A = this chain, B = another copy of it.
Amino acid sequence: MRKTPLKPADFKPQAQIFKALGHPGRLLIVDELSRGERCVCELASMVGSEMPTVSRHLSILRNAGIVEDDKRGTQVFYRLMTPCVMNFFQCIKSLKGNAHSP
């Protein structure tokens, strides 16, 4: 029961979430967080980037509502807020082989 035709702007919130996931390093982070919470330094060593870089990635994921942070002492632990993100990984596997280079 939609009254008016949808406009691109109507998809901005969803696009923000996809955009947040559209980065290899951030996907690695999400995959890792699907197995439990991790602090920034752990994630940084996994991703192989400097901590400022990873911290920025995490803020992008947090702004998108995908992860949540929890400060305990000097360290900050992040955890995945949306298990359904992982479901989509399965969906993607089915077409992974089709993807071509730009």
Total copies of this chain within the assembly: 2
Q: What interface size band does chain A fall in?
A: 35 or more
A1 interface hit (Cβ, 8 Å): no
| Distance in Å: Cβ of A74 to nearest Cβ of chain B | 25
Interface residues of A in 28-82 (CB under 8 A from B): 28, 31, 46-48, 60, 63-66, 81-82
Q: Are B16 and A46 in contact (CB under 8 A)?
A: no
- Would you call the interface of chain A mostly helix, strand, loop, or mixed? helix
Residue of A63, A87, A98 most packed against chain B (CB within 10 A): A98
Which residues on B sit within 8 Å (CB–CB) of A22?
A: 15-16, 18-22
Which residues on B sit within 8 Å (CB–CB) of A91?
A: 82, 84-85, 87-88
Which residues on B sit within 8 Å (CB–CB) of A23?
A: 15, 18-19
Interface residues of A in 1-25 (CB under 8 A from B): 5-25
State the A residues within 8 Å of B (CB).
5-28, 31, 46-48, 60, 63-66, 81-82, 84-85, 87-92, 94-102
